[in-house]
Amino acid sequence: MYLKSNRCHIRPFEEEDLKAFITYRNNLDWMKYQGFKGLSEEAYREILLVQQKLTEGAQLAITLSATTQLIGDIYLKEEQDTIWIGYTIAPAYARQGYAGEVVQALCNHLMAEGYATVNAGAKPENTVSIRLLEKLGFTFIERDQHGELIYQLPLDK
């Protein structure tokens, strides 16, 4: 998948993204609300640099359009007509509107592709992510068996 927002691109990972990815993904304080962290470079390479399928879950790079600098990543997993998403922005690019911009562009794309809903989970302590989801129109639907709060955005067709 290749997608463009105002300031960013969403695309598959490339070898040159790994160093920046590892820097923020292995910052365990920054990643306290996230999974998929603390792995070796080789483990990340084996996961990120292979052809990924949405039905199995795909981790995609978020880069700045102007410089191609990796600033974060987004996870997508298809379950029938629903897409589950997760997103991370590197600390140096946090609180600059990138996550909202990218998630909004992604939701617009998914609606055009015919998906019915987008779901996202957030730990209750992750108030920044919860506020972002609510700002984008997601509503709380349930707490899952792991205590994560599940939010959903119906996509108008």
Which tens digit of pLDDT belongs to each residue from 43-95? 999 999 998 999 999 999 999 999 999 999 999 999 999 999 999 999 999 99
157: pLDDT strictly greater than 70: no
Nearest of 149, 131, 155 to residue 82 by alpha carbon: 155
The pLDDT assigned to 12 comes to 96
CB atoms within 10 A of CB 152: 16
Q: Please tell me the pTM assigned to this model.
A: 0.94
**Domain segments of the chain as ranges:** 3-154
Give the fold, CATH level 3, of 3-154: Aminopeptidase (3.40.630)
Instruction: Give the tens place of pLDDT for each residue, 8-52.
Output: 999 999 999 999 999 999 998 999 988 899 999 999 999 999 989
